[in-house]
Amino acid sequence: MAGAVRLGVGSLVWVEDPDAAWIDGDIVDIKGEDIEVLCASGKTVAVKASSVYPKDAEAPPCGVDDMTKLAYLHEPGVLHNLRSRYDINEIYTYTGNILIAVNPFRKLPHLYDSHMMAQYKGVAFGELSPHPFAVADAAYRQMINEGISQSILVSGESGAGKTESTKLLMRYLAYMGGRAAAEGRTVEQQVLQSNPVLEAFGNAKTVRNNNSSRFGKFVEIQFDQRGTISGAAIRTYLLERSRVCQVSDPERNYHCFYMLCAAPPKDIERYKLGNPRTFHYLNQSNCYELDGVDDSKEYMATKRAMDVVGMSSEEQEAIFRVVAAILHLGNIEFAKGKEIDSSMPKDEKSWFHLRTAAELFMCDPKALEDSLCKRVIFTRDETITKWLDPKSAAVSRDALAKVVYSRLFDWLVEKINSSIGQDPNSKFLIGVLDIYGFESFKTNSFEQFCINLTNEKLQQHFNQHIFKVEQEEYTKEEINWSYIEFIDNQDVLDLIEKKPGGIIALLDEACMFPRSTHETFAQKLYQTFKNNKRLTKPKLSRSDFTICHYAGDVTYQTELFLDKNKDYVIAEHQALLGASKCSFVAGLFPPSPEESSKQSKFSSIGSRFKQQLQALLETLSSTEPHYIRCVKPNNLLKPAIFENSNVLQQLRCGGVMEAIRISCAGYPTRRPFFEFVDRFGVLAPEVLDGSSDDIAVCKRLLEKVGLKGYQIGKTKVFLRAGQMAELDSRRTEVLGKSASIIQRKIRSYMARKSFILLRLSAIQIQSISRGELARQVYESMRREASSLRIQKDFRMHCARKAYKELCSSAVSIQAGMHGMAARDELRFRRQTKAAIVIQSHCRRYLDLLHYMKLKKAAITTQCAWRGRVARRELRKLKMAARETGALQAAKNKLEKQVEELTWRLQLEKRVRVDMEEAKSQENTKLQSALQEMQLQFKEAKEMLVKEREAVKKAAEQTPVIKEVPVVDQAMMDKLAVENEKLKAMVSSLEKKIDETEKKYEETNKLSEERLKQAMEAESKLIQLKTCMQRLEEKISDLETENQILQQQPIFSTPVKHVSEHPPASPMKNLENGHHVIEDNGANEPQSITPAKKFGTESDSKLRRSIIDRQHENVDALINCVMKDIGFSQSKPVAAFTIYKCLLHWKSFEAEKTSVFDRLIQMIGSAIENQDNNDHMAYWLSNTSTLLFLLQKSLKAAGASGGASHRKPPPPTSLFGRMTMGFRSSPSTANLPASPLDIVRQVEAKYPALLFKQQLTAYVEKIYGIIRDNLKKDLGSLLSLCIQAPRTSKGSVLRSGKSFGKDSPSTHWMSIIECLNSLLCTLKENFVPPVLVQKIFTQTFSYINVQLFNSLLLRRECCTFSNGEYVKAGLAELELWCCQAKEEYAGLAWDELKHIRQAVGFLVIHQKYRISYDEIINDLCPILSVQQLYRICTLYWDDNYNTRSVAPDVISSMRVLMIEDSNDAASSSFLLDDESSIPFSIDELSKSLQEKEFLEVKPAAELLENPAFHFLDE
């Protein structure tokens, strides 16, 4: 592909590098086939044109989630894309329908929680970010929809994360198809818990992985017709038995050996174990412990997993006994015996381990010794016993250990399968294959040979599947694909497994000959396959051979091939363990029915493995496959290290490059029409004008550029290998020419602009020069005129000066006299004013001091009195709350707060007193200092005045005419210095006075603030007392209500005291009417209704008629309110009518009644149609209003205090109270009800309280139904908004071309219409505003969760254009909130804070200039580091191609994420939808007022019934 690409100078290419595998660079020179490339590392290399690959300059810096979207699908492009995504912690990437998983070597719990599984449930494959859950969901959905069994193949080398990926797949399948029970435990639990058991016995530490699976595993999860897990089965392949006896450093043996050595002391003593270093099978390596793994804890976890799987304690004990016996077997050493070529245990230590092993196997120690040291040979005539030498005995020991461990592992698998249970009636299955990846080491033995055979077979299956997928894609797009060739590796498979001349057949043949060696086997291979290109002989080896696999050449060492291929059980071992007294051990070695003799029967592991592999391939061929390729980024097993060469080799071994080659054989580049036109429309702009058909535009464009061999599908353009690079080269040329034209125009513009500036500068210089010459001429003329004017003025000045000197002398004398008199007057006034100020300050200070003392005394008195009152109240509260434990804690807390506030108040008072004393002392000092300063100032002024007067007198006495100086110059200087000192002293005194006044003002402010704080503390204390009283009342009511509910079964027991009353009492009750019945009821038990008192036949008839009449009334009420009887004064008529009837019938005070059950049944049947929001809103309005009325009316019996006990209790049954209503006198029945009696409190009995609880549950249920209906309606619209970025690209190719009906903005308008529709429905049904607020608040929270999670899971949503799109939608929602007003919208807008901040970040230009602190503090303070990191790494600008945030910001976020990686809560970046009920009865009660029901009219239909005339009272 590389050789066909047209490259030019400046093109970006990939070149091979010995260190980094591939490195990018720019072409700087082309000389024929030789190209000179400047690499990104700074060095320049010369390469051939055929060895370079083009690089996509427009590829996103963070890579693409599906590598089929790459412009160039080749090795360096794939490798660079994986590395780019790995650097941003995106470890999963698609290649078509193949998932590539790069091991992060760190815990990422937020990627695998239940919330993440819910996100992928039912979502189309490829719609969300790549994930194993998406593969599992696609397999599950395809199984359910198409009825085809599925398989998921997980492959990769050791340490790549295959086992973890398999666990994730099984977790998701259990999540989707759970709930099938088997023996008390669910099938999925047992399948998941089988992993720890199999890992303990089948996993070990290798050089590359601390938990490497040393066997292949295929888990079949069976499903029934409904898609529920109904059974499961586990198939295992090729357990590495040689590891039991041979371990190389620094690897470990199987985990179970180390777990057993770390078991509890009683188990260690039972099995006679000790430190792992003392056992031969474990001390061959120096590695005994794993970092971060506690073998003792793993031992207990394995036992718990065995319990879940269904293994009994006896079976577990037998399993670990066998494991311990294997360890003891390994410590048996042999020495030469007495016979020739014989052997025996070496020393006492060996004898101890032999006896211990025999004890654990429950067999005879002598028989165990013989089975290890002897062989019995059966001939036709006799039986010969042969001794084994020490070396052969050790081999026999190891063979016994290996076969026992292999049989034990097979038993575990069979036990797990039988415990889980297979469903013979299952309709489908999903198989998860966790198989070893391709292996190539320095030393490759029989295990690597079998593993690579497996991968060759799976690679052929993989290639066939990829080719099939390619065919399906081409057929779907209706393009010609018949000439595409299929790449196959059948020749390698024939070389290995063909009969009779394959490698496995030759190996089996060599194993059956006793004298065959690995050298003879190798020579046989060389002779048989000397002309085969796939098998070669290394030059420096006599017994090795090299096979050319699809992933590369592998050289195998044949030394142990023959031994490892033999799979026979020695007859002595079979007889020994088959006769064990332990049924478990004997069960591991059942007698074979086909064995006619005790001869050892030969069987081949290679042949058996080939058969298993063939069965596996047949199973896979009958299913629809899905692939996960696991990649290990480095051999250090550390995070954040990506080794290019290592990853590239794994991609080749995993068949990913093979799949790419298959894709490249056809049409590797596939672009949707709109993307193709958007990218290459510049090659022929004329084809874009006036056409709306994408297919026609693409065809004309390709014809215009003269490209051959392409295909036009139904939705995509298919290009052959190299054609994308050719188009990009032409596009680069066009863009380069366009850039040259733009540069030419810019240079012309700049030159013209420079010329114009130069010309303007010359004109400006000329004008400045002419102006300067004119100014010089004008200046000379002006100087001449000025000189004449100066001379004239100078003469005038001299004359005026002489006159002014004479005048000034006279004026100076007069001014001196006037000034002296004025200064005397000023001095006197200042002294008077200063005295007045000092007197006023002194009086003010004395008054303030007196006021503060009075205030302090008042506050102290108030505090003492309040404290006394508070303590008195506290004592009362303590006495009242001794019976309530919960209230006691609250009161103690409040008492502590009161004491704390009292202490703080006293402390404030002490501080204030201390401050006042300090302030008074300071004021005194300042006043004294002020007086001293004023005295000094006054003295200084007097001295100054005296000096001035002395100077003036001396000047007056001296004649003016004399020129001799009359003043001593020294004295004048001294006076001047003293004068300056006095002035400085005065200024400093004034400053000190100002500072003193400022300090005084600050002290006053501080005192006022502390006084204010003390007052606030007192008010807070009063509030706390009030709250405490309310809390006591509320808890008292709740306790009373709970007591009644708890004691109801006791009260409901009938007490038969009828015979104690005289027979005349019923007649007396009838004569006296309502009140007499109440009086008599005080002497009767509460459970006996008044109807039971009638003893005569006429009384019984009267009782039955009353009961029938009451049933008729209840039926009439229910029939009426079942209809939509509307509203009155914005209140539901049905709720008000029900309340008035219950209140009139006194149902709330009845011990037994069925009316509440009838009402509950009526409400339940009324809301069966949950899809009709109008109907549900009507009943939400009625039930919430009725609940409010009940909350205001019902009061628990006994809550009213002692007064209620003095009143005789009224009749307790519903019919008894109705009887009183019917028999009441007309005068009392017709009295008008007061408006205040519309809602009145009654003592509620158990049925009423139960009805209130049931009604509360129905209010919450109806609320949840309306909320969920709205979410369901919005869910489809939000999914359209989420998919708008994808659909909008197809609908809008160029500016000005759109399809109005399907415009994405219509989705937002549909959401607004949905919200408006529900709001109107709720308003029309007068639903309480608090419920409306809660509905829309939770709905907006749901919108926030859906939109925000879509940004984090869908890369096409995390773009600049989508940010603008969502921002426009959020603006519509904000406008809706404003129009709906806070009464109904509430705080709904605040629930969108996550998506608002995320969208605000997306639409910011020049993100690379934003620092991390600005993001977390200013732009997105509510978002977590994980969320910000996800948005920053997924962001790409599809409009302006701008960059995301700076790399240092990404690095800072990554460091913080690594610190929090172990915290699942902090690591999770997805939001959860809150589905709880967000309101309480108290909130509902506060939203309504009792006075609102004064004008409500009851149901008009019932008013026509005479029995309901009381509704009109």
Tell me which amino acid residue 150 is. Q
213 as an active site residue: the answer is yes
Question: CA–CA separation, 1064 vs 1068, rounded Å?
Answer: 6
DSSP assignment letter at 407: H
3-state class (DSSP) for residue 237: strand
Relative to beta strand 669-672, strand 716-719 is: antiparallel
3-state class (DSSP) for residue 547: strand
209 as an active site residue: the answer is yes
From 93, 97, 212, 253, the catalytic residue? 212
212 as an active site residue: the answer is yes
CB 263 within 8 A of CB 295: no
Element (H, E) at 1292: none
* Cα torsion through 157, 160, 163, 166, rounded to 10: -100
Question: CA–CA separation, 1257 vs 360, rounded Å?
Answer: 63
Question: CA–CA separation, 1385 vs 680, rounded Å?
Answer: 49
Question: CA–CA separation, 361 vs 363, rounded Å?
Answer: 5
The answer for residues whose C-beta is within 8 angstroms of residue 310's C-beta and 6 or more apart is 183, 185, 190, 415, 419, 420
From 11, 158, 607, 1184, the catalytic residue? 158
From 213, 669, 1213, 1424, the catalytic residue? 213
The answer for residues whose C-beta is within 8 angstroms of residue 53's C-beta and 6 or more apart is 1, 2, 5, 13, 14, 22, 72, 74, 75, 76, 77
From 177, 437, 606, 1216, the catalytic residue? 437
DSSP count for the chain of H helices, then E strands:
47, 30
Q: Distance from CA of residue 964 to its chain's centroid? A: 104
From 63, 77, 159, 431, the catalytic residue? 159
Tell me which amino acid residue 115 is. H
158 as an active site residue: the answer is yes
1287 as an active site residue: the answer is no
Element (H, E) at 549: strand 544-549
Q: How many residues does the chain have?
A: 1513
What φ, ψ does residue 720 adopt, rounded to 5°? -75, 170
Instruction: Please work out, in degrees rounded to the nearest 5, the angle formed at the alpha carbon of residue 1447 by the alpha carbons of 1445 and 1449.
Output: 65
Residue 250: asked if its preceding bond is cis (omega within 30°), the reply is yes
Question: CA–CA separation, 525 vs 449, rounded Å?
Answer: 14
The answer for residues whose C-beta is within 8 angstroms of residue 171's C-beta and 6 or more apart is 112, 117, 192
Tell me which amino acid residue 1105 is. S
Question: CA–CA separation, 1141 vs 1156, rounded Å?
Answer: 12
Report how far apart the first and last C-alpha atoms of the chain are (Å, whole number).
96
For residue 452, the cross-strand partners are: none
Question: CA–CA separation, 252 vs 237, rounded Å?
Answer: 21
Retrieve residue 622's tokens: 């009958």
CB 1267 within 8 A of CB 1260: no
Question: CA–CA separation, 83 vs 77, rounded Å?
Answer: 10
From 199, 240, 251, 439, the catalytic residue? 439
- DSSP for 170-212, please give it: HHHHHHHH---EETTEEHHHHHHHHHHHHHHHHEE--SS-TTE
From 163, 206, 1128, 1219, the catalytic residue? 163
Relative to beta strand 98-102, strand 383-387 is: unpaired
Retrieve residue 95's tokens: 């290649």
- DSSP for 804-872, please give it: HHHHHHHHHHHHHHHHHHHHHHHHHHHHHHHHHHHHHHHHHHHHHHHHHHHHHHHHHHHHHHHHHHHHH
The residues assigned a catalytic role are: 158-159, 163, 209, 212-213, 437, 439
